[in-house]
Structure 1
Amino acid sequence: MAELALNNAIKRYGATQVIHGVDLQVDDGDFCVFVGPSGCGKSTLLRMIAGLEETSDGRMTIGGRDVTHADPAKRGVAMVFQTYALYPHMTVRENMSFGLKIGGTDKAEITRKVDAAAQILKLQDYMDRKPKALSGGQRQRVAIGRAIVRQPDVFLFDEPLSNLDAELRVEMRVEIAKLHKQLGATMVYVTHDQVEAMTMADKIVVLRDGRIEQAGAPVTLYEDPDNLFVAGFIGSPRMNFFSGTVTRVEAGGAVVTLPRLGNVEVPVALADAPVMGTAVKLGLRPEHFEPEGSIRAELTIDVIENLGGVSYAYSSSEEDDHPVIVEMRGKSRPSEGGRLAVGFDPASALLFDAASGQRIR
């Protein structure tokens, strides 16, 4: 078993604390993605798991073994870095086998493991090449192969696709997802790209300022976020947020008035409705706008992004820094500068407390 558990993990640099009591359980065979903005602590947390950063306080276990202060080589982990970290003077085969040679593995066993990894990663035709003769995607596959041959308990990926172009990033994330299914291994993957997180993960961990904001399955975080930060970070384009006020409390919910949409009143079903006058944020994803929706409004369109089968209309206002984004499908689409009639179902809306940012349910 190769489950990973962190219990109140803390990291300090002198008097400065950067990881604040992280509790996390990654089950055996899970693909877990750490995601968040730059400086949120995701790479630091990964390096703590790898043993490249000392854990200041708390406990960490891999497969039930306490590895909190164990040497990196004894943790049963293998790490794939953003910069590939290949030896330029060695061939692909030599790069993939180097760690095993240093560990004193038998030559026949090294050959078997390297050939098996090369077949998984489709590197058989490149084994005698040096890194300078490989593309970026091929170099990253060699770096992954070097991790595979070690047969670790946990694979660690630190933004491995950041140096690749957009098309190759898509190809490589599919390859890594296929590799995970083939190996059935526990993987922890760090990225700032929430699209990568949504498409690859079994479990997403959203970090901010060294704390976990929310952890769970991608669909759960997308449809049922705990706060404004998670709601705005997960999803592309981002969720729309409308400032509003609770103007009426009813049985089973509240009515929220939204000035940005012409003071339209939106009934929101809630188990625990806030008091009248509470400042709130109503969240609505771009795809939830639909002409048949019961809540009606009009927007002035500033910019339209045409992406073929789908378009996104952006409507700005002087009162709000963020434009309203509306997803549109079909051939009938407005022109820039025109008016767009929109509607939405209030059941699609999420409500957040404006002061704390926490979800109101």
Structure 2
Amino acid sequence: MAELALKQAVKRYGATQVIHGVDLEIDDGDFCVFVGPSGCGKSTLLRMIAGLEETSDGRMTIGGRDVTHMDPAKRGVSMVFQTYALYPHMTVRENMSFGLKIGGTPKAEIAKKVDEAARILKLTDYMDRKPKALSGGQRQRVAIGRAIVRQPDVFLFDEPLSNLDAELRVEMRVEIAKLHKQLGATMIYVTHDQVEAMTMADKIVVLRDGRIEQAGSPAKLYEDPDNLFVAGFIGSPRMNFFDGTVVASDTGQVTVSVPSLGAAALPVRVSRQLVAGQKVKIGLRPEHFASDGPMRAELEIDVIENLGGVSYAYSSTEGEAHPVIVELRGTARPTEGGPLSIAFDPAAALVFDSESGARIR
């Protein structure tokens, strides 16, 4: 397997630039997930790595080899697409072996590699079936098996689970994570689903408008986001944001007035002094609310989502674009349309600049 590096990678379509100077390093054996909203450039970046899209500027290396303008077949990558792209007239075995056969691999070696991939993916009992006789999850495993037999340096997955139902997505998510550990392979996975990103990745790359907003471990991005976009995108349900105004600032702490959380001002830790009157955004995740804490907020419940062991209460607040989301646990739950008195610790709050969206640490 091999590490991958992008240096100032750019993609243009005529005069339109869609990938803007991306710098990225993915270590050997990492499971890296590209995540972001539709149109952010994650699939384009993946296709550039595969060689299916030409890199307009910059440099790309795989295992130390410069592959920037190399033919896709010589890059040492194998790609699993959103659609299964299986040959309907071929059996599972024929689909998995077709690429090796075209490449002139000896029959005995093909049989060995296909049988091993089938064992890993639990497809041994289905090798003589054609795709129409398989479930969606089985078809996707065949597509993954076709990639495995090539023994590439880097596996590329382009939203491979988006055509599956919710339960099967969870099952396949687990299977791909297990496969990564079993193979020890470098894998790059594209998804718009940040839950997939959080549960599968060693490293997450958050993209927006063809630029990297932040890259790091799932825990790093969840607990220490660099800006409002990453804070709001990573986490389900999303982080709550409240408009605030700095009323006092001292070394290591500012006091912020947050009208939608009540009259009391919040003491929030930051490493630098801010200016009184400065507009900021305060971020609190749904799980930061609890029955006890130094501060309290009085909310009116609009809707409650009951999910069994946990519920989420949604409350519209004056002046805020999005409802406040509060995580509730335990058997005592408030009712829709009723009041909710909830506590929180301001030490958990994150502070962002209202104009730039940048985190104020």
Q: TM-score, normalised by structure 1?
A: 0.99
**Does 2:233 match 1:233?**
yes
1:308-355 deviations in whole A, cap 9, x for unaligned?
100000001342220000000001111011111111111110000000
Instruction: Provide the secondary structure at the position in 2 that maps to 1:331.
Output: coil
Q: 2:44 corresponds to which letter in structure 1? A: T
Please tell me the residue identity of whatever aligns with 1:181. Answer: K
| Partner in structure 2 of residue 153 of structure 1 | 153
The root-mean-square deviation of aligned C-alpha atoms, in Å, is 0.7
Give SS of 1:320's match: coil
Q: Give % identity.
A: 82
Match of 1:249 in 2: 249
Who is 1:331 aligned against?
331
Tell me how far apart the structure 1 counterparts of residues 129 and 136 of structure 2 sit (CA, whole Å): 14
Partner of 1:131: 131
Query: Are 2:305 and 1:305 aligned?
Result: yes
Match in the other structure for 2:81: 81
Deviations 1:224-244 (A, max 9, x none): 000000000000000000000
Q: Any conservation in 2 of the 1:51–1:72 contact (CA below 8 Å)?
A: yes
Q: Is residue 251–residue 271 contact of structure 2 (8 Å, CA) maintained in 1? A: no
Unaligned runs of 5+ in 1: none
Spell out the pairing of 1:285-304 with structure 2 (5 A cutoff). Answer: 285-304=285-304
Pairing 1:1-150 to 2, within 5 Å after superposition: 1-150=1-150
Counterpart contact for 1:159–1:190, Cα < 8 Å? yes
* CA deviation after TM superposition for structure 1 residue 261, in Å: 1.4
1:157 positional shift = 0.1
SS in 2 for 1:95: helix
Instruction: Could you tell me which runs of 5 or more consecutive residues in structure 2 were left unpaired when the two chains were aligned.
Output: none
Give the Cα separation in 2 of the matches to 1:327 and 1:41.
33
Q: CA shift at 1:262, angstroms? A: 2.1
1:250: Cα distance to partner? 2.0
Paired residue secondary structure (2:316): strand
Residue pairs, 1:249-288, within 5 angstroms: 249-288=249-288
Q: Whole-Å Cα distance in 1 between the matches of residues 263 and 94 of structure 2?
A: 67
Distance of 1:60 and 1:302 partners within structure 2: 50
Deviation at 1:292, TM superposition (A): 1.1
Give the partner amino acid of 1:272.
R
Structure 2 distance, partners of 1:11, 1:251, is 44
Q: Retained in 2: the 8 A contact 1:264–1:297?
A: no
1-side partners of 2:74 and 2:313: how far apart? 53
- In 2, Cα distance between the equivalents of 1:272 and 1:193? 35
Contact 2:251 2:272 in 1 (8 A): no
Moved beyond 4 Å, runs of 4+: none
Matching residue of 2:349: 349
Q: How many Å separate the matches in 1 of 2:208 and 2:359?
A: 17
What is the CA–CA distance in structure 2 between the aligned matches of 1:344 and 1:116, rounded to whole Å?
53
Deviation sequence 1:27-75 (CA, Å, 0-9, x none): 0000000000000000000000000000000000000000000000000
- Matched-pair contact (CA < 8 Å) for 2:254–2:274: yes
Report the residue type matching 1:128 in the other structure. D
3-state SS in 1 of match to 2:156: strand
C-alpha displacement of 1:264 = 2.6
Letter in 1 for 2:125: D
- Aligned partners of 1:97 and 1:114 also within 8 Å: yes
Structure 2 length normalisation: TM-score? Answer: 0.99
CA contact (8 A) 1:273 1:360 kept: no
How many residue pairs align between the two structures? 361
CA contact (8 A) 2:260 2:318 kept: no
Looking at structure 2, the residues matched to 226 and 285 of structure 1 have their Cα atoms a distance apart, in angstroms, of 15
After superposition, what is the alpha-carbon deviation per residue over 1:273-325, rounded to whole angstroms, capped at 9, x for unaligned?
32111100000000000121101110000000001100000001342220000
